[in-house]
Amino acid sequence: MNMEKEIRRFAGTVPNPTTTGDIESMVMYAGQSVGLIKEILPAAEVVKRFVEGAQLLIHQRFSGEISGRSKLV
Taking the C-alpha atoms of residue 8 and residue 68, their distance in angstroms, rounded to an integer, is 66
pTM (whole model) above 0.85: no
- pLDDT tens, per residue, the chain with 73 residues: 567 777 666 666 677 777 777 777 776 777 788 888 899 999 999 999 999 999 999 999 988 665 555 555 5
Q: How far from 46 is each of 35, 50, 63, 66, CA to CA, in Å?
A: 17, 6, 25, 28
Taking the C-alpha atoms of residue 61 and residue 25, their distance in angstroms, rounded to an integer, is 47
